[in-house]
């Protein structure tokens, strides 16, 4: 992304990670090689953790080389001190010095490095990168060779800065590292941040050797040679404290982004990702072909609720992992059928232009005075104080270019951009909108998106003649030029005197004012190298243009206006010079530090042509309602088969049924067809157009209003991806795990923390219903969560490991699955717990009789599941097996044969393929009683599912009660889950009261109760989705 330029005064050093490590490959099947792009990684903890569970560059490379050279216990203490301690002893200093000198010798050039023992696995992309890292290593070695007096001076400087930067209360930040057992680690038990900043070492009382040397790896950073460690650094934040609950030590192609937000600045108590995305997710998926994986299914296997809860209580950081997937084809066929085909989208030019204009306004909302005034009036001060614009006009231009280059959008781009430009130039919503027109139009031209008339070839010559001043010596006069402004250092002193990182922009002004935010600040001077004819000119003989001025200023934001107004005036101008000033203003063909840039940009931005014959899933008509914000999608099914044509002509009934979030099935008599949509739709509000003579059926459906409305339709998607190497199964929203690498929880003492953690799997609304509503009103997903929680709590408290899943409402109920839970393990990467189990599906009475004989005399428990919850289990079991498999699917895999996952939804049939039967069963085989059952068993990871923080409220209401420990006894069920413990006292479904003085009953369903009409109205948005279903049950 093209980003704004800011003054890097506060450039903190983050040598130690501030979040627990995670597995970087857990969304890839085990047989897939990983290519990982890490954005903003501080230390190698995620890499080391990923290598473990899945079998600041100079510092990181140092650590990797140490590990490669010698990993014996004798050296580990010194490696630890080099990576984490601010001070260490002379023996450790000698070890570091020798390693740095060795690396400096190896890093003389790329050839030497690549031929070294480290070059085989640690690669640099450019010589410049290698030179920069080598410079750091040399600086480390030079610092270690300083005299004792010079070392003492540096040590005093470290001590002084440590005292100045140390912050009180930061010990609380460590509590997140204890998930999923945060409740067991009160803040008083940490104190690690305070200790670290007071002593500078991690083990102040255990080292017999005096720590006389400073650690030079903390001395050098982008800020130069100074102590610049971030004030919140605490190494305990980068470890998993929940490992303390285990008996023994743990046997030790993804785009990964994370979001760190100050919770107190987001009073909505929900993730800021929706606001940061600028577009709603369905439209983002249509235009870019990517989507956050949890948005599609409305649930996640990662525990983000616990982190959000403590962020709310302590007003600390909200850490959220967000995984994205390309949605070109995996979205389209969630029913498991095979495809690599893409969707083509047809838009109306004016509708698409209106959405692009809305995006433009959202992207530059910081320039909207009305929006700013509204934030002040509503006291939404947090959003003002964190306001630090990330975008400029080039960012938007690149977004447009990306959409055009994809070739999946079918629209008249000329009309679309005409309409967009018309709306931009007419709008007065942005205070600085017109000041940025030149910047926007030049960037659109450079990127090959659109060229305004003044930027077309020959315009300058036609308007001003063949050799206008000051371009008399130029052979070819371009449509635009680069203006370089040389700014004296003294003009920048004000930036050093004030705190913060203000955004810098250039400006040109005389009779009109123009802002140029797509700038590149460079430290240095401009020199016209010999032989570069016409690369630089000085402006001399002009009339009016001689008064045109070029300036460098600070972007106007609420914070920076307050900070700099008294010193710089209302324009926040740092420096300016007339364009005729030959000492400070230079007109160039291109940027002075990037020769040939324009030619490369022109080549890169040539829009690729569509490959003819590319298979697609057909064209989807997209209608965008700007006022309502809704999206409507239309697909046409052209009937070509003679029999189906005949059925259509003969007026056979045409029916539609939604079978998956993105799939609507059309039935023409006995003929079945599927229409696949690029995003989830709401089939209950679809419209069907039937052309019996023309032989086509068209189905128009609105996009799904919320991912929470269809969670039972396809909650755990698994796709069958076609590639050159065959068909591969892939979990859509469930991370892959290696159960054998995860530590086992012993459950020897109080298990209240487990009870509390299980409660985090419920959203705020589900927790409210758990205590206030009848069990009949609970939705299937809530019942599914409670069933899993009951399984976990029974193993943790009673050590019952065998569970029979059945629907007691069946005429002759019998189990549809037998679950053998061996242990509960810590899934540290997802901050939760997970069950290591085997599953057997009794598909016939003889098989059930055989299982009964083996179960006789063995402690077991029945888990009653009702109606739609059974379907959820049928969907979940294939994912539970897939996400923990260490085996590969066989060529005879039933998923591939029948192109369907789950394999069957029938009560007495198995939803699983047979590939995992009897393979890698883990602890299940340690029980001699079950060995004869092994050929029928498949290993699964019984997994909790959690609400998605950016879709549901996870912290309101009873959350504080949960964290305070005001919970029912564990025997009553996890997190107060009634389960088999019986019904709760009737309460208002909205507020939880027992009545005013009596409870009133919903007149439609006759089940849900409220204390007043106000509560009923407030709850209708949630209740309306289940009201009709509850009414049918009650009758």
Would residue 285 count as lying in a domain? no
What is the predicted pLDDT for the residue at 359? 94
Separation of alpha carbons 277 and 281, rounded Å: 8
- Please compute the mean of the pLDDT values over residues 185-199 and round it to a whole number: 63
H/E segment holding residue 319:
strand 317-326
What's the pLDDT at 963? 46
**Among 183, 217, 252, where does a domain finish?**
252
- Cis ω on the peptide bond leading into residue 436 (within 30° of 0)? no
Q: Higher-confidence residue: 525 or 247? A: 525
- What is the count of structural domains for the chain? 5
Q: What is the mean pLDDT of residues 169-175?
A: 55
Together in a domain, 620 and 604: no
Share of the chain above pLDDT 70, in %: 72
Instruction: Give the lowest-confidence range in 66-80, 555-569, 767-781, 961-975.
Output: 961-975
Mean pLDDT of all residues belonging to the chain: 77
Taking residues 54-75, what's their average pLDDT? 65
Q: Does residue 358 fall inside a structural domain?
A: no
Instruction: Label residue 70 exposed, middle or buried (CB < 10 Å: 0-12, 13-18, 19+).
Output: exposed
Q: Examine the domain organization and report whether 74 and 116 are in the same domain.
A: yes
One domain for residues 1018 and 929: no
Same domain, 591 and 634: no
pLDDT of residue 418: 95
628, 760: one domain? no
| Token couple for 306 | 């616990």
Q: What is the mean pLDDT of residues 261-284?
A: 62
Range of weakest confidence among 178-192, 577-591, 881-895:
178-192
Same domain, 881 and 993: no
Residue 914, both tokens: 């047979």
Same domain as 623, residue 576: no
Do 508 and 548 meet the contact criterion of CB atoms below 8 Å apart?
yes
Range of the domain at 645: 616-713
- Give the mean pLDDT of 189-209: 66
Query: How confident is the model at residue 631, as a pLDDT?
Result: 93
Same domain, 817 and 908: yes
Last residue of a domain, one of 252, 273, 307: 252
Q: What is the dihedral of CA 247, 252, 256, 259, to 10 degrees?
A: 40
Confidence band of 535 (pLDDT split at 50, 70, 90): very low
The pLDDT value recorded for residue 261 is 39
Check if the beta carbon of residue 764 is closer than 8 Å to that of residue 952. Answer: yes
pLDDT digits (tens, 9 = 90+) for 423-460: 999 999 998 889 999 999 999 998 889 988 888 877 87
**One-character DSSP codes across 378-393:** TT-HHHHHT------H
- Indicate the residue among 693, 713, 733 that finishes a domain: 713
Task: Quick: pLDDT tens for 894-934.
Answer: 998 888 889 999 999 999 999 999 999 999 988 888 888 99
Residue ranges in 2-109 assigned as alpha helix (H): 45-53, 57-69, 73-84, 90-106
Note whether 965 and 1003 are same-domain residues: no
Mean pLDDT of 234-258: 52
Q: What is the CATH number of the domain that holds 688?
A: 2.60.40
**Better-predicted residue by pLDDT, 684 or 728:** 684
Residue 972 has pLDDT above 60, yes or no: no
pLDDT, tens digit (0-9, with 9 covering 90-100), for 635-673: 999 999 999 999 999 999 999 999 888 889 999 999 999
pLDDT tens per residue across span 373-406: 777 776 665 554 445 788 889 999 999 998 988 7
What gap in Å lies between CA 382 and CA 833, rounded to an integer? Answer: 35
Percent of the chain with pLDDT over 90: 24
Q: Return the structure tokens found at 350.
A: 């004016």
Token duo for residue 185: 């680690």
| The predicted structure's pLDDT at residue 331 | 40
Kindly state whether residue 293 falls inside one of the protein's structural domains.
no
Higher pLDDT, 1021 or 113: 113
Between 729 and 825, name the one with better pLDDT. Answer: 825
Strand order in the sheet with 860-864: 860-864, 802-806, 817-827, 832-840, 938-943
In this prediction, residue 941 carries a pLDDT of 96
| CA angle in degrees (0–180, nearest 5) for 260-263-266 | 110
This prediction's pTM: 0.76
Residues 581 and 621 in one domain: no
Residue 707 sits in the same domain as residue 750: no
**Do the domain assignments include residue 413?**
no
Tokens of 971: 């025997």
* pLDDT on residue 536: 38
DSSP state of 1032: H
H/E stretch holding 629: none
Q: Has residue 659 been placed in a domain?
A: yes
Average pLDDT (267-280) is 64
* Mean pLDDT computed over 238-255: 50
- pLDDT tens across 451-489, in order? 888 888 778 788 888 877 777 788 877 777 888 899 998
- Could you tell me if 950 and 995 lie in one domain? no
Query: What is the predicted pLDDT for the residue at 550?
Result: 93
Other CB atoms closer than 10 Å to residue 128's CB: what's the count?
Answer: 9
Please report whether residue 904 resides in a domain: yes
Evaluate whether residue 507 is within a structural domain. yes
């Amino acid at each position: 992304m093209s980003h704004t330029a800011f003054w890097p005064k506060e450039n903190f050093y983050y040598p130690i990670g501030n979040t627990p490590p995670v597995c970087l490959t857990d969304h890839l099947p085990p047989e897939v090689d990983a290519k990982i792009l890490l954005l903003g990684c501080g230390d190698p903890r995620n890499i080391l953790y990923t290598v473990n569970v899945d079998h600041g560059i100079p510092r990181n490379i140092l650590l990797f080389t140490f590990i490669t050279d010698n990993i014996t216990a004798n050296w580990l203490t010194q490696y630890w001190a080099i990576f984490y301690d601010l001070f260490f002893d002379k023996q450790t200093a000698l070890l570091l010095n020798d390693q740095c000198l060795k690396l400096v010798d190896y890093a003389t050039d790329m050839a030497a490095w690549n031929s070294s023992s480290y070059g085989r696995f640690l690669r640099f992309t450019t010589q410049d990168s290698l030179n920069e890292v080598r410079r750091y290593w040399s600086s480390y070695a030079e610092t270690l060779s300083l005299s004792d007096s010079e070392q003492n001076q540096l040590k005093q400087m470290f001590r002084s800065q440590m005292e100045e930067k140390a912050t009180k209360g930061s010990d609380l930040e460590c509590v997140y590292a204890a998930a999923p057992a945060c409740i067991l680690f009160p803040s008083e038990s940490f104190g690690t941040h305070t200790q670290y900043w007071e002593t500078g070492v991690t083990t102040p009382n255990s080292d017999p050797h005096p720590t006389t040397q400073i650690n030079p790896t903390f001395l050098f950073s982008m800020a130069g040679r100074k102590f610049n460690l971030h004030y919140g650094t605490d190494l305990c934040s980068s470890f998993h404290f929940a490992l303390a609950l285990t008996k023994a030590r743990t046997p030790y192609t993804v785009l990964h982004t994370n979001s760190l937000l100050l919770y107190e600045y987001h009073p909505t108590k929900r993730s800021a990702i929706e606001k940061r995305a600028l577009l709603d997710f369905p439209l983002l998926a249509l235009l870019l072909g990517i989507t956050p994986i949890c948005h599609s299914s409305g649930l996640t296997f990662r525990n983000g609720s616990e982190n959000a809860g403590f962020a709310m209580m302590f007003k600390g950081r909200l850490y959220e992992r967000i995984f994205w997937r390309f949605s070109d084809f995996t979205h389209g066929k969630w029913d498991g059928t095979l495809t690599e085909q893409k969707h083509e989208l047809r838009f109306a030019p004016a509708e698409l232009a209106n959405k692009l204009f809305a995006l433009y306004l959202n992207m530059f909302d910081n320039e909207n005075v009305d929006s700013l005034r509204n934030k002040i009036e509503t006291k939404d001060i947090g959003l003002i104080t964190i306001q630090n614009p990330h975008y400029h006009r080039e960012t938007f231009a690149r977004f447009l270019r990306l959409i055009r280059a994809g070739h999946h959008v079918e629209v008249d781009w000329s009309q679309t951009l005409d309409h967009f430009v018309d709306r931009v130039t007419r709008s007065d919503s942005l205070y600085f909108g017109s000041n940025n027109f030149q910047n926007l139009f030049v960037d659109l031209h450079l990127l090959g998106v659109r060229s305004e008339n003044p930027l077309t070839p020959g315009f300058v010559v036609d308007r001003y003649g063949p050799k206008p001043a000051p371009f008399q010596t130029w052979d070819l006069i371009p449509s635009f030029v680069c203006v370089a402004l040389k700014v004296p250092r003294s003009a920048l002193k004000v930036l050093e005197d004030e705190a913060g990182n203000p955004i810098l922009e250039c400006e040109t002004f005389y009779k009109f004012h123009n802002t140029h935010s797509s700038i590149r600040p460079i430290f240095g001077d401009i020199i016209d190298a010999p032989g570069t004819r016409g690369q630089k000119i000085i402006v001399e003989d002009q009339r009016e243009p001689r008064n045109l001025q070029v300036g460098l200023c600070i972007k106007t934001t609420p914070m920076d206006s307050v900070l700099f107004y008294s010193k710089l005036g209302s324009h926040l101008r740092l420096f300016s010079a007339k364009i005729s000033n030959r000492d400070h203003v230079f007109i160039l063909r291109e940027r002075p530090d990037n020769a040939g840039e324009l030619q490369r940009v022109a080549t890169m931005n040539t829009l690729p042509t569509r490959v003819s014959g590319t298979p697609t899933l057909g064209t989807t008509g997209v209608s965008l309602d700007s006022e309502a914000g809704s999206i409507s999608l239309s697909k046409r099914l052209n009937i070509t088969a003679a029999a189906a044509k005949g059925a259509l002509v003969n007026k056979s009934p045409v029916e539609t049924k939604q079978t998956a979030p993105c799939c609507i099935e059309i039935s023409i008599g006995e003929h079945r067809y599927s229409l696949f949509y690029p995003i989830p739709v709401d089939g209950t509000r679809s419209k069907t157009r039937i052309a019996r003579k023309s032989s086509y059926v068209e189905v128009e459906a609105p996009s799904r209003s919320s991912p929470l409305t269809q969670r039972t339709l396809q909650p755990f998607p698994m796709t069958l991806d076609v590639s050159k190497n065959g068909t591969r199964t892939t979990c859509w929203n469930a991370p892959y795990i290696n159960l054998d690498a995860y530590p086992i929880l012993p459950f020897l003492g109080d298990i209240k923390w487990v009870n509390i953690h299980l409660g985090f799997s419920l959203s705020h609304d589900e927790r409210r219903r758990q205590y206030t509503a009848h069990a009949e009103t609970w939705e299937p997903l809530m019942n599914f969560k409670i069933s899993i929680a009951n399984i976990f709590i029974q193993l943790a408290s009673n050590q019952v490991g065998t569970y029979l899943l059945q629907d007691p409402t069946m005429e002759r109920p019998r189990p549809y699955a037998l679950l053998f839970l061996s242990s509960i393990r810590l899934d540290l990467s997802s901050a939760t717990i997970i069950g290591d189990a085997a599953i057997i599906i009794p598909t016939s009475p003889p098989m059930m009789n055989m299982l009964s004989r083996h179960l006789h005399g063995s402690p077991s428990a029945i888990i009653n599941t009702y109606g739609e919850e059974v379907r959820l289990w049928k969907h979940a079991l294939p994912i539970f097996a897939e996400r923990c498999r260490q085996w590969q699917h066989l060529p005879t895999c039933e998923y591939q044969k029948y192109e369907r996952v789950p394999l069957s939804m029938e009560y007495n049939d198995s939803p699983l393929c047979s590939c995992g039967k009897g393979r890698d069963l883990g602890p299940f085989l340690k029980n001699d009683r079950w060995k004869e059952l092994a050929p029928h068993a498949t290993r699964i990871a019984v997994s909790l599912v959690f609400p998605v923080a950016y879709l549901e409220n996870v912290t309101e209401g009873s959350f504080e009660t949960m964290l305070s420990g005001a919970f029912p006894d564990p025997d009553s069920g996890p997190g107060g889950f009634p389960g088999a413990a019986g019904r709760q006292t009737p309460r208002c479904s909205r507020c939880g009261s027992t009545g005013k003085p009596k409870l009133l009953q919903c007149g439609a369903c006759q089940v849900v109760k409220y204390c007043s009409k106000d509560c009923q109205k407030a709850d209708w948005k949630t209740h309306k989705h289940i009201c009709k279903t509850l009414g049918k049950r009650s009758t």
